A and B are shown apart, each in its own frame.
Chain A
Amino acid sequence: MARAHGLRAWLIQRLSAVYMVVYLIFFLLSLIAQTPQGFSGWRGFMTAPLMSTATFLLFLLLLTHAWVGMRDVVMDYVHSFKLRFTVLTLIAGGLIAMGAWLLQVLVRAG
């Protein structure tokens, strides 16, 4: 099971990375294709159905990617169980809070 868990984290990291690179290219090309002007332009640009769906998925995968990466770093350098538990809890809490914040930002804008 431990091995299967490690493999899953490895796979999540790669799949999310691929999506984020595709998003980045899509985002930059969209910016070049129709450079949004001013507040309403920017808001319209970000809330267009395709862009807002892609952005929502981006942040979902970004936060997961950050979790896997930060967990790897903490597991490598923080050896005391208590401290590791505390740091991982803080990171997880921070990521969940950021996820909720983003959801609120995107829903309110859309």
Chain B
Amino acid sequence: MLKKNKRPVFLELTRIRQPITALISIAHRIAGIVLFLALPFAIYLLDLSLGSEQGYDRVQILLSHGPVKLAVILILGALAHHVFAGLRVLLIDIGIGVEREEARRTAWVIAIGSVATLVMMAGILLW
């Protein structure tokens, strides 16, 4: 006898081992939200830096504080990840890297590329 199909099935996302492509997709979203939230601070810094000589100096001082530096590094890391993941989506849209194996490979490439960029930016800003 066939088992009765008890639909709907509710998947527990936290108990499923997500493939790298899914993790990259989620990270793309989270990075996008982080960038949206960072936008007012970026505009504030641009406003200050272009407004007056004193404002420009104030931005330099602000950016020299440890916690601010850390935030800037994380935001730039989010930006790098979002751009890389976005380029991957654009390539998929034009038919490059659509197949599963290839899609997984490109997902790994941007995961590693994002972390490498983050480390590089930390290096530039901290030294």
Contact = CB atoms under 8 A, between A and B. Distances in A.
A66 B46 contact: no
B43 A70 contact: no
Given A14-B93, A101-B43, A42 B36 contact: no
A76 B86 CA distance: 19
Contacts of B43: 98, 101-102, 105
Contacts of B35: 66
Interface residues of B, number: 22
Contacts of A24: 83
Interface in A65-110: 66, 69-70, 73, 91, 94, 98, 101-102, 105, 108-109
Band of interface residues on A? 20 to 34
A21 B86 CA distance: 10
B83 A73 contact: no
B21 interface: no
A108 B51 contact: yes
Interface of A: 14, 17-18, 20-21, 24, 38-39, 42-43, 46-47, 62, 66, 69-70, 73, 91, 94, 98, 101-102, 105, 108-109
Interface of B: 29, 32-33, 35-36, 39-40, 43, 46-47, 49-53, 56-57, 83, 86-87, 90, 93
